[in-house]
A = this chain, B = another copy of it.
Amino acid sequence: MTPNQAMPPKLPIPGVKFLIAVGSGKGGVGKTTVAVNLAVGLAALGYKTGLMDADVYGPNVPLMMGINRTPVAHGERIQPLEQYGVRLMSMGFLSPGDKPLVWRGPMLHSVVQQFLRGVDWGELDYLIIDLPPGTGDVALSLIQTAPITGAIVVTTPSDVSLEDARKAIHMFHQVKVPILGVVENMSWLSCPHCHERIDVFSYGGGRRTAEEMGVHFLAELPLDPEVRVGGDTGKPIVLRKGQGEPFLDLARNASARAAEEGAREGPKIEISD
């Protein structure tokens, strides 16, 4: 470290090759849906993958992955659960049912750090972090302290969502986390009756915003009622033949972008004599 570096060093997580944060400026745009299907997609492509649910106030990963058990600790390390080949940790595994988490900021920071460094993730090609929505305390602390390879910003094509996505991109720029790319979710809907296309939340703003801000555009994903059914029933759509392809493409693109950014960063720690 040189005196110029104001931030503490972002210590690597032993065994984890690429750390991908999935964020959004706004909630409800499908951030967790993207994180879950990305993680399961990467696992389906043969990568060793973990998924850390850092959305501590609204941990939807257990429901969407169809698993909810209390994890056990071996020694000082928490053992992640595993589903669809993905190692998992979520606040949802630790807090009872419907009760809201009314912890204050500082407690949450330490929980999230525990998830990152106190969980026995083992050897992973990819650890996906589902960030809390927005640019709040927990998201900010996490991206300032975790050695994130790059971030994915999820948005819908509506102006309201794009406005908040730009804020999220600015936030990642400010803290010098590379952007792997923007994902436009709920891009369009095919009417299940007449099969005509409906642009429920408008269309194309994700790609346009990515171009304007000089970041990659990773994928557009349909507003498919089956995606929601997959989430509500704990069976991610990426695993479904015929319907999972857009999500598998996302996994391939994200993987390629992570490799690019990982190569650019170079080794994180140099040992000198």
Contacts and interface: CB of A to CB of B under 8 A. Distances in A.
Given A98-B163, A98-B170, A170-B98, A193 B196 contact: yes
A156 B200 CA distance: 15
Contacts of A266: none
Interface in A150-172: 156, 158-161, 163-164, 166-168, 170-171
Interface string A122-156: 00000000000111110010000000000000001
Contact of A60 (B102, B135, B164, B231): B164
A50 B262 CA distance: 50
Given A27-B26, A191-B193, A60 B160 contact: yes
Interface residues of A, number: 53
Interface of A: 25-29, 32, 57-58, 60, 63-64, 98-102, 104-105, 133-137, 140, 156, 158-161, 163-164, 166-168, 170-171, 174, 189, 191-194, 196, 198-202, 223, 225, 228, 231-232
